[in-house]
Structure 1
């Protein structure tokens, strides 16, 4: 079968891999679509993401949908032939975080396509994958696989919005209009936000934020842009750059909340700490998600317009072109790899 394997920085290959057999408690899934995520791009460009570095070849991908083919011994779930999305996390269930109901920050989790541990956890960009049966979720009625592949990044966005607190009737600022930032807009709308302002350097990215439901679009490099708010109730930093965090801290009201969602570069980042003190701003991290995955599927079923964030579908045989397109933010939002026969 075909698999999209990263061997090192700049070394992405479509390799022939042995087809898996489902083990005890596992489901065998025929993958149809995989969404190229920012972390996949980091592995491709830099050989790592954040503090996680490649030490061996790894199948990429954690945003995958497909069809159940079979189950291993003791495995059960949606009937074979059912379209499903795959929750990419397998928390340990035993650590203090899991016992405290915060499985998304499990200290011993396994996450598809992650180099956080060695051996690495192989990902979902392959024609067939075997995963724990409890990680497959049937698609709600009317939700197409092409739209359902957004469930994983939307779940990330839903978790970040929940970390921001009650947004009903409030004004949210989102810095960064990549796929995650755009989905934060959709999640904030679902949470009842009255206004959502989005900043980015690129006009095309801001167009996609508009598709997701943003009210105000601001060029981040233009201090005279009339869309800049004087202040907002809460902010989500989704760009992964220190300048975005600085913008959030300077625009949020006194006593407001800033959620750091974007993964900042390794090492130290400049930080306007005095504003946190003098304005009593709460800064909260947001990492992955847990039960929000099911909520994301339900929201995608209700919001067909979010399909407009899928900017291209590329055959897996041409994966490097797909990655290059996903990395070109002047031309794309969410790029999918197609594993269909």
Structure 2
């Protein structure tokens, strides 16, 4: 059951160690000058959140902290000097807080800022608490007002959409044969982005038949198994641009093998487990151009503009929504079948 509420405290979900997520009461924060207090409505669960929970993340948890970086809510309170926002305004939260002064930030690569503090991340010390709490203070510059008709649940999808769009724009996809390895949330959205950006065809491969077929239902042209892909290699069937969204060593290997020798491009989007290398022999044997992405640059506005300009609906990605007091259930293995593509935790009605 939800913990007892009061005007000055709030419920937060604290990860104290591997597989130890606790609902606790803490003091409700107040915004300082230039900040806003956001009443959190929806938080999407990402693969990085589950990696922290299961102890497989690249960064060690050195102190208890709060997960969650795919978030939306409404403005609850304004700090001194904040203009252009009003209490009650629905917003999405931009999770990356970069310095704004370094060479990378000035050059438009704020996602590569060495001083970035990301919501719900243990990559920095002290860790930066995330959005799995009823109220969160953020800089006023890091909320994006949502247009009329755009739901808060959709607002919480802007962060993964931004990741996918950043990836799809990393290599020229217009008129190209595109393959996406991995049909999870980011793979699904990368397929949507590639198709919208003019790919000649989009193929998705995943070990899950459900995820592969879901991609076809929402814009991909083909769904192939690994065996079907490999059978195509013997016929000279390769891809111009390949995205690995699996975050799995076997997925990366398949992506590298699927790129057209001599001209193929591979974009690594998924996060590999710590200590895992890349099978470079497939790169050298085909002289493949390989790059990677880190989150996204330029905030969430490009993703929102992309969705509204092309009138894209990505709400189908959310296959489960649970209330905040059942948050621990999100990290348990599914009883049967595939885990949901995207789980949303709803903190308020």
TM-score range, shorter chain: over 0.9
**Alignment match of 1:212 (pick from 199, 204, 218):** 218
**Alignment match of 2:175 (pick from 158, 169, 179):** 169
CA distance in 2, matches of 1:213, 1:137: 27
**Alignment match of 2:36 (pick from 27, 46, 56):** 27
- CA 1:211 to 1:288, structure 2 compared with 1: closer, same or farther past 3 Å? same
Match of 2:47 in 1: 38
Post-superposition CA distance 1:202-247 (Å, at most 9, x none): 1122233224311111223666778998111101111011111111
User: Would you say 1:3 and 2:9 are equivalent positions?
Assistant: no
Give the 5 Å matches for 1:185-334: 185-220=191-226, 230-253=237-260, 254-271=262-279, 273-291=280-298, 293-301=300-308, 302-303=310-311, 305-324=313-332, 330-334=338-342
How far 1:2 moved relative to its partner?
A: 1.4
How far 1:159 moved relative to its partner?
A: 0.7
Please say if residues 202 and 329 of structure 1, whose CA atoms lie closer than 8 Å, have aligned partners that are also in contact: no
- CA 1:292 to 1:212, structure 2 compared with 1: closer, same or farther past 3 Å? farther
**Alignment match of 2:154 (pick from 129, 136, 147):** 147
**Aligned residue pairs, count:** 337
RMSD: 2.2
CA distance in 1, matches of 2:327, 2:66: 12
Please say if residues 316 and 337 of structure 1, whose CA atoms lie closer than 8 Å, have aligned partners that are also in contact: yes
Match of 2:22 in 1: 13
CA distance in 1, matches of 2:99, 2:83: 20
Moved over 6 A (4+): 224-229, 325-329
Match of 1:157 in 2: 164
CA distance in 1, matches of 2:254, 2:302: 30
Please say if residues 33 and 145 of structure 1, whose CA atoms lie closer than 8 Å, have aligned partners that are also in contact: yes
- CA 1:292 to 1:188, structure 2 compared with 1: closer, same or farther past 3 Å? farther
Q: Using structure 1 for the length normalisation, give the TM-score.
A: 0.92
User: Would you say 1:56 and 2:73 are equivalent positions?
Assistant: no
Post-superposition CA distance 1:39-90 (Å, at most 9, x none): 00001111x522x111111110000001011211222342221111010011
Please say if residues 70 and 160 of structure 2, whose CA atoms lie closer than 8 Å, have aligned partners that are also in contact: yes
CA distance in 2, matches of 1:146, 1:324: 22
Match of 1:123 in 2: 130
CA distance in 1, matches of 2:127, 2:247: 24
Query: Structure 2: which 5+ runs fail to align?
Result: 1-9
User: Would you say 1:69 and 2:76 are equivalent positions?
Assistant: yes
**SS class of match (2:253):** helix
Match of 1:340 in 2: 348
**SS class of match (2:252):** helix
How far 1:96 moved relative to its partner?
A: 2.6
Please say if residues 205 and 329 of structure 1, whose CA atoms lie closer than 8 Å, have aligned partners that are also in contact: no
- CA 1:326 to 1:26, structure 2 compared with 1: closer, same or farther past 3 Å? farther
Please say if residues 94 and 142 of structure 2, whose CA atoms lie closer than 8 Å, have aligned partners that are also in contact: yes
Please say if residues 59 and 124 of structure 1, whose CA atoms lie closer than 8 Å, have aligned partners that are also in contact: yes
**SS class of match (1:255):** coil
- CA 1:322 to 1:221, structure 2 compared with 1: closer, same or farther past 3 Å? farther
CA distance in 1, matches of 2:256, 2:268: 11
Please say if residues 180 and 205 of structure 2, whose CA atoms lie closer than 8 Å, have aligned partners that are also in contact: yes
CA distance in 2, matches of 1:196, 1:154: 17
CA distance in 2, matches of 1:191, 1:292: 20
How far 1:308 moved relative to its partner?
A: 0.8
| 120-129 or 89-98: bigger deviation | 89-98
How far 1:298 moved relative to its partner?
A: 2.8
